[in-house]
Amino acid sequence: MLYWFRRFLSDKIIQDIYVSAGLEVAEAFILIPEAGLCYDYELRLSCWKKWESLYVERGYRTIPIETFIKHAYDAQPIAGLGIKRQEGENLIFFAPLASDRIRQYNTLIQKEIRKQINL
């Protein structure tokens, strides 16, 4: 998306797209035990990373992947959404951290499946 266009998006629109992108990654995580890592996982993750950085640019705290997973799994409210960072508060980018955790989880699940079918 062009930078000049993003400037005209409201905070609410950026937040909504950020949440949608985070939920896409959470759904991919939830499906790992049944279907393995989905083919468009990298696209989902890169989209979430992009919108997370825009959300941070607007001064908001980011949301960990666990919160998105809880919401996607059983519709728990997304806690911490729309909260502005305090002055001097460290930036936390959860999307890159989630990438490593999802890969580790996928590897663990695949090992468990192989063990169960004696491969």
Model confidence pLDDT, tens digit, residues 82-111: 999 999 899 889 888 887 777 777 777 777
If DSSP codes are grouped into helix, strand and coil, which group holds residue 81? coil
- Indicate the DSSP class of residue 85: P
Residue 3: predicted pLDDT: 66
Residue 50: predicted pLDDT: 93
Residue 2: predicted pLDDT: 58
Tell me the C-alpha distance between 17 and 20, whole Å: 5
Tell me the C-alpha distance between 104 and 7, whole Å: 36
pLDDT tens for each residue of the chain, 119 residues long: 556 677 788 999 999 999 999 999 888 887 776 666 677 888 888 999 999 999 999 999 999 988 898 888 788 789 889 999 999 899 889 888 887 777 777 777 777 767 777 65
Sequence spans of domains, the chain:
10-116
Residue 21: predicted pLDDT: 95
If DSSP codes are grouped into helix, strand and coil, which group holds residue 60? strand
Q: Tell me the pTM.
A: 0.80
Residues 102 and 59 sit within 8 Å (Cβ to Cβ): no
